Amino acid sequence: MDRGGDTAFVDSFPSAFTCATWLSDSSLLLVGPTGSDEPGRQVAATLTAEGRAQELVVHEFDGRHWRDTPRLVIAVVSSQALYGQQDAALSIDSGRTSARLTGEIVRALAVAPDTVARELLASLDANLRNDIVSFLVSTLSSVPKSERARMSDRLFELRQALRERLPDLVNAPDRPLGACVDRIMAVDDVSFFIEGWLRSGHEGVVRLTAIAPEGSRIELLDRLARCRRSDVATFYGLPGAEPEGGLGFTCFFDMANGCSLRRSGWVFEIEDTRGSAWEILGPAVLDDPLSVRHAILSGPHLERPLDEQLMMNHIHPAIARIQQRLSARPVVKSIRTFGDPPDSPAVSIVVPLYHHIDHVEAQLAEFANDPELLAEDLVYILDSPEQAEDLYSRAGDLDPIYRVPFRVAVLEENVGFAGACNAGADLARGRLLVLLNSDVLPDRPGWLGTMRHFYDTTPNIGVLGPKLMYEDDSIQHAGMYYHRLPGSPLWVDAHYYKGMHRSLPLANVARRVPLVSGACLMISRDLYQRLGGLPAMYLQGDYEDAHFCLNLLDEGLDNWYLPDAELYHLEGQSYPAESRRPSNRYNMWLHNHLESSRIARVMSAFASSANAGTGIEPS
């Protein structure tokens, strides 16, 4: 049913209000001089239907401090009740006047939002119009989520009808003032990340205001993080002579109230010291969280040495919110079982898959030679759900060839390495849990039993990691530790004896270590779940394992390296090295930001422990 046509105003509208318009299926905007003479008196709204009365939430805008202006009321009501029941009515009491609106009256008198703006509000002071629009936006979050997109479109209509238009800013090499917003990225519905450039000119800039499609206004000038933009410098004939800080900017910001759902319609206003002002139309909003995350981490602002204020005020809050969106408890969309699963497995092996589903056959070919694997629980977790049918088809072909029972679980959406591992742990049936990368292959049968025996017979054990090797039999992992790169205050995780031959005597001693790699580790499933699993704040399988190992040490447990279990690790096959670099830089900064003092304490304890001088120090 259309509730926003250009229906003309009707003379019989109750005297308490001038008109009404639907902003969503349950949000009715009433406009009229409804102010109460009693200080602090609020407008009250009651919905009566089927003989029952219900008080409604009322959001009220008080325009009394503006001369000769109306008061606005938004009553959040059930439109189905007003439209679908003969006896439904909305009663409103402002203290000065009252009105009773039946569904029939509302149907007759509802007009389009731009009609309200044009007939009643367009002639008001520009600042008051901005206040009204901001007030309306503040009510957006109070309506049901299913209605916000519709209301967002209606608010956009109001904003377009009410906002003060400024001349377009034209950028030219001979004009001293220039600006552009290159990208707008939605971190979520209430926070955004923008990139662009700004040349202040001779007069200087005093204001840069972002105006959301629904009408919220956000002042940005004092929030900008400046960076170099050689392309802009060249445009202005200033190669190598950018002003201090650079011509470019990035900025993360929260909306002061309301939210923004529309992906087009952003406007930016810029004003100089003389009071001259212009506007810039923003581009379409990028809103896919994975694309936004990649764009933020691949921006020019991260090509230079990491700036603490940039990371703290812009990069980290944006990425952290995106990770919160992505790391909500993973939802398993479907599970299929191939072969005959064991009745009482002792170990569950969880293998997250992302894009490289061909690794499944390589692993199954190796597992088929190991009788121990037939008695354990093998679970593949697909974190790229668009490949589900392809993986199911391949799994069906591989099952009769290798005869290793396994399950395939497909996640509803991509949640990253930590999320996939945690989803697999939720499905695990064994009392012990092994996290295993899809590009890790055993050197020989018996590796799982060796790890299981060591884990079960070692008191106070937290997590256990095996020896991992490259294809040329050099060591990739023999336990991990932290060190600082020369001239850097940041701790970096590193591998003991990396690059040495697998036969190196020092690498063939079982020992306590600060950390082990998440590429292959064993832990009690109950312990893993009690600690909350791998932390989801990191990106693409980097530093989650280190953070988790620190948590185990804080529990008073020991992390162990076991050289008797040997596997090959092809390393980084799911993510090419070039694509991992931005996330690795962010993860390294985040891990240090969160854990620097704890890392220093752990490394000091290991350096002074009884193990010092016995060959477990970093090579």
Q: How would DSSP label each residue in 35-83?
A: --SSTTPPPEEEEEETTEEEE--EEEE--TTSTT--EEEEEE--HHHHH
Instruction: Collect all residues with Cβ–Cβ distance below 8 Å to 212 and sequence separation of at least 6.
Output: 137, 218, 255, 258, 260, 262, 265, 266
Q: What is the pLDDT of residues 456-485, one digit of tens each?
A: 999 999 999 999 999 999 999 999 999 998
Structural domain boundaries of the chain?
19-162, 178-326, 332-607
Average pLDDT over every residue of 14-25 = 68
Most confident of 185-189, 298-302, 569-573: 185-189
The residue whose two tokens read 């203290």 is 95
Tell the CATH topology of 178-326: Immunoglobulin-like (2.60.40)
In the chain, the largest separation of any two C-alpha atoms, in whole Å, equals 96
Check residue 7 and give its pLDDT: 35
Residue 87 in this model has a pLDDT that exceeds 60: yes
The confidence band for 614, taking pLDDT boundaries of 50, 70 and 90, is very low
Would the pLDDT of 363 be above 90? Answer: yes
Q: Where is 207: in which H helix or E strand?
A: strand 205-211
Q: Which pLDDT value is given to residue 8?
A: 34
CATH label, 332-607, candidates 3.90.550.10, 3.40.50.1980, 3.40.50.150, 1.10.600.10 = 3.90.550.10
Nearest to 47, CA basis, from 79, 20, 71, 23: 79
Of the listed ranges 174-178, 260-264, 299-303, the least confidently predicted one is 299-303
Binning the chain into helix, strand and coil, the percentages to the nearest 5 are: 35, 30, 40
pLDDT class of 337 with cuts at 50, 70, 90: very high
Q: Are strands 27-32 and 19-24 parallel, antiparallel or unpaired?
A: antiparallel
Chain centroid to Cα 528, Å, comes to: 24
pLDDT at position 57 is 72
Q: Is a pLDDT exceeding 50 seen at residue 421?
A: yes
Give the span between the Cα atoms of 374 and 281, in whole angstroms.
62
Mean pLDDT of 425-429: 97
> What DSSP line would sit under 334-348, residue for residue?
EEEEES---SS-SEE
Q: Above 60 in pLDDT, residue 338?
A: yes
Q: Which of 34-43, 501-510, 532-541 has the lowest mean pLDDT?
A: 34-43
Q: Looking at residues 373-396, what average pLDDT do you find?
A: 96
Q: Is the pLDDT of residue 3 over 80?
A: no
Q: What is the mean pLDDT of residues 64-69?
A: 54
pLDDT for position 47: 72
Q: Please give the pLDDT value at position 117.
A: 83
What confidence score (pLDDT) does residue 307 get? 84
The whole-number pLDDT of residue 17 equals 60
| 118-144 average pLDDT score | 84
pLDDT tier at 39 (50, 70, 90 boundaries)? Answer: low
- Residues of the chain with pLDDT > 90, as a percent, come to 60
Cα separation, 440 vs 372, in Å, equals 17
Mean pLDDT of 284-310: 85
9-13, 109-113, 132-136, 369-373: which is most confident: 369-373
- Please report which residue ranges of 413-512 form alpha helices under DSSP H: 416-427, 447-457
Residue 351 confidence (pLDDT) above 50: yes
**Residue 238 pLDDT:** 87
* pLDDT (tens digit per residue) in 187-228: 999 999 999 999 997 779 999 999 999 999 999 999 999 988
Give the residue-averaged pLDDT of 72-95: 64
Is pLDDT at 348 greater than 80 in this prediction?
Answer: yes
**pLDDT score of 608:** 66
User: What average pLDDT does range 543-551 have in this prediction?
Assistant: 96
DSSP, res 223: G
Cα 596 to Cα 281: distance, rounded to the nearest angstrom: 43
Sign of CA dihedral 605, 610, 611, 614: positive
HEC-encoded secondary structure of 270-331: EEECCCCEEEEECCCEECCHHHHHHHHHCCHHHCCCCCHHHHHHHHHHHHHHHHHHHCCCCC
pLDDT given at position 113: 81
Question: Which helix (H) or strand (E) segment is 395 a member of?
Answer: helix 388-402
pLDDT level of residue 453 (50, 70, 90 thresholds): very high
pLDDT at 292: 95
User: Which tens digits make up the pLDDT trace of 150-163?
Assistant: 999 999 999 998 88
Indicate the average pLDDT of the chain.
Answer: 86
